[in-house]
Chains A and B, each alone.
Chain A
């Protein structure tokens, strides 16, 4: 047993039930002072739920929480804040149209009627300096990159005096470089005696950054181990209960006809700046074309242009020889174009509608769901059940709003829905973001299967390892243009890195 004095936090016998599921089943969790402690588990294992209990968002049905030897009753995030707990959620909780300062002081009780922006700005800058990063306190949130937004979230919690910091999948949305910078900040905090709870599905990160790991499986505690005493493979096994493949088999297959052809595409981004700069690319059936590049170089806009969600200023898009430039999403759907967007709750799914409603989003016009003017909800349920079963999605109640699904299960549902439509062209944007190792393996295998069936796949990802693992060719994007295409069989990673940074073009 550990000495009581060095324990920052003890959660014992925490049970939280939701309709249809026990998300946490008598879970015990202890956090030491000055440690980085990873919470690991499959999608839907109950990690976010346990942390939401600690943040006062959910009140546990059973169990007790002790902070620094004192029993506490956490009934709201405000309570948790008073006990020094700060949480950065899987989906950020910032107000886009407000400035950094305004977001930081939002919900702060001690603030009087009059707000002294200058002194708040100074304190924000002081915090940033302490951890060796910069942030403009007067910038509006929407002007910041995802990585910067995350830092605002961190500042927000530190500003409120957090001593226990919870980060729910912070690296899912970051580039590898940004992740490294984040780890630097976390290590700095740790050396100051702050305690950090970290959730991630990326085992290499877990190994490198954390001191101890607690594993959950289906709401139950599997155990807590010292990171130094385990391997990645052992962790994966604790988490899923079986061995996972870290290597995928890639069959050699005949490349098919050209399916997607984009020529000289130009398009604006949401802020009206030209994001695609005479971009051309072509993808064949039976091929996975990876698109690598630092976020914000036009990847999203490219995907949206092909799926009919964004207007092309000039250029052409053809799918299987048919011109679909600026066609409606409907036309594109019948041309066999399917899309797995990165922004799953913003574009792909409707958070407040049920699993059934979401499952038929692209199919409700077809039989058997559609009967003339009417929708046959019986058939829709059958259809949803089929997807749930085939893709092994954990859905406690299929008529409950989809927002209560765990992050990974939402992604699985989205993937299932798109693949079930038998696409000719599949555009996948960060398809494994937020997925556990088992599910990641499953998604990659599915993408490869689709390729083997002759589907053209455009895989947009910031994860080079992923691209190299599944893609046949990789196109590197920089400033709205493809700066080079290389074969992934014989590739020089350093070369790709330089191309992503805009330093060089492709080798001849």
Chain B
């Protein structure tokens, strides 16, 4: 029988070794599945690494995926510390993309590019923030569980996107908007074909700012106290209402910004599939980073590499899409399972006769 004992303290070696072993174990599990599918695992993994880091171009594509993850996970690090479990980044991302795209599609054509882009980003951020305020208000006024509220709002957001795409924003019956005009495209920073865009700087800035908020500011302190003990927070005179709302606004706003930045710079068109599942991947990034937004930058890049490399082997090795999913999820599964080993001492015992 397995037995778990909580550790007083995690030794440093474990903190480094466990994630490495977890990834290796995940790769091994992935290999087994690949062998069944008659794919050579070594070649496949080689292709993933090549696909993610192989050249300046592929690496820049990895970063394209990392940008929204960095933005979203930074915000999540803050709200999760406050124990506001926002899993609605997906919905906030979508609403952000819709709001920003509205200007891109229907804004005055004469507006200068910097102004238009700034307004689009602001509108996207506001849209995401608005979508996050809803569950925050439900929570502070009626104590509605935010996990359920944010999850359900994800579906609503998806269907709002459907509504626009199949409605007036689609073109000739296709769920696809017209292409964004050049003025509405967020600048890319490397020569074509790289799609890496200045959103990268937004992401890095967001991570640093959120880190400062958590570690250095009054608000960060209030959020930590509130997350740990609401009654002590009230005695300390912390305004619970304000703190929850502000944190939700920051988190939702960053998700919204991720949505509009990705849409405007990478897709350059609003469509049904705008990669809103980054909203879920970012949750994993935030947790694996121990809710530290700077660490989350590194984790986001790794998760993005997995995803980018995954695309690559689909194309290069013609493996079915499902296999890529299996590899990704095996690695994630092992990483999360590894958390148990870092927090608990696990021993194997024989069950004593009763």
Contact = CB atoms under 8 A, between A and B. Distances in A.
Contacts of B237: 328-330, 333, 362, 365
A374 B5 contact: no
Interface residues on B, range: 20 to 34
Contact of B229 (A328, A350, A365): A350
Interface in A81-129: 82, 109-110
B235 A307 contact: yes
Contact of A347 (B3, B232, B352): B232
B221 A309 contact: no
Contact of A353 (B8, B219, B225, B235): B225
Interface in B212-230: 216-221, 224-225, 228-229
Contacts of B8: 18, 58
B234 A374 contact: no
A373 interface: yes
Residues of B contacting A: mostly:
helix
Interface string A315-356: 000000000000011100100000101000011111111000
A377 B218 CA distance: 11
Contacts of A357: 221, 224-225
A375 B5 CA distance: 37
A313 interface: no
A12 interface: no
Nearest to A362: B236
B354 interface: yes
Given A75-B347, A78-B3, A82-B352, A361 B232 contact: yes
A200 B8 CA distance: 26
A81 to B, nearest CB: 11
Given A339-B235, A357-B221, A361-B232, A375 B347 contact: no
A350 B3 CA distance: 30
B232 A309 contact: no
Contacts of A346: 229, 231-232
Nearest to B352: A82
A314 B110 CA distance: 63
A75 B232 contact: no
Interface string B231-259: 11111110000000000000000000000
B229 to A, nearest CB: 4
Contacts of B347: 75
Contacts of A18: 8
Nearest to B232: A350
Interface in B181-226: 216-221, 224-225
Contact of B228 (A330, A352, A370): A352
A272 interface: no
B354 A329 contact: no
B247 to A, nearest CB: 15
Contacts of A3: none
A169 B224 CA distance: 31
A374 B354 contact: no
Nearest to A404: B8
B232 A329 contact: no
B252 to A, nearest CB: 21
B354 A110 contact: yes
Given A82-B352, A329-B237, A333-B237, A76 B231 contact: no
A364 interface: yes
A370 B236 CA distance: 14
A348 B235 contact: yes
Nearest to B226: A350
A374 B235 contact: no
A159 B93 CA distance: 54
Contact of B9 (A19, A82, A377): A19
Contacts of A352: 228
Contacts of A330: 237
Contacts of A364: 218, 221, 236
Given A357-B224, A364-B221, A373-B217, A76 B232 contact: no
A197 to B, nearest CB: 22
A309 B231 contact: yes
Contacts of B232: 346-350, 361
B234 A309 contact: yes
Contact of A109 (B229, B233, B354): B354
A329 B240 CA distance: 12
A347 B231 contact: yes
Nearest to A78: B3
Contacts of B5: 75-76
A350 B219 CA distance: 16
A50 to B, nearest CB: 16
A131 B175 CA distance: 76
B218 A373 contact: yes
Interface centre among A82, A110, A328, A353 (most CB of B within 10 A): A353
A350 B82 CA distance: 13
A373 B233 CA distance: 18
Nearest to A371: B218
Contacts of A19: 9
A371 to B, nearest CB: 9
Interface string A55-72: 000100000000000000
B218 A375 contact: yes
Contact of A375 (B3, B216, B236): B216
Interface in A362-383: 362, 364-365, 370, 373-375, 377
A251 B9 CA distance: 50
Contact of B225 (A307, A333, A350): A350
A348 B219 CA distance: 20
Nearest to B219: A373
Given A109-B354, A333-B237, A351 B229 contact: yes
A351 B352 CA distance: 36
Contacts of B221: 357, 364, 375
Contacts of A362: 235-237
A373 B217 CA distance: 6
Contacts of B235: 307, 309, 329, 339, 341, 347-348, 361-362
A19 B237 CA distance: 33
Contacts of B217: 373-375
Nearest to A360: B221
Contact of A370 (B218, B225, B233): B218
A76 B3 contact: yes
Nearest to A349: B232
A364 B218 CA distance: 7
A309 B231 CA distance: 8
A454 B300 CA distance: 59
Interface in A44-62: 58
A229 B216 CA distance: 57
A109 B231 CA distance: 36
B118 to A, nearest CB: 24
A350 B218 contact: no
Contacts of B229: 346, 349-351
A352 B228 CA distance: 7
Interface in B122-142: none
The 10 A-B pairs of least Cβ separation, nearest first, read A330-B237, A350-B229, A350-B228, A361-B236, A329-B237, A110-B354, A352-B228, A347-B231, A350-B232, A373-B217
Given A350-B232, A357-B224, 12 more contacts: A18-B8, A75-B3, A75-B347, A307-B235, A328-B237, A330-B237, A346-B231, A347-B232, A361-B236, A364-B221, A365-B218, A375-B220
Interface of A: 18-19, 58, 75-76, 78, 82, 109-110, 307, 309, 328-330, 333, 339, 341, 346-353, 357, 361-362, 364-365, 370, 373-375, 377
18 contacts: A19-B9, A75-B5, A309-B234, A329-B234, A329-B236, A348-B235, A349-B229, A349-B232, A350-B229, A353-B224, A357-B221, A361-B225, A361-B235, A361-B236, A364-B218, A364-B221, A365-B237, A373-B219
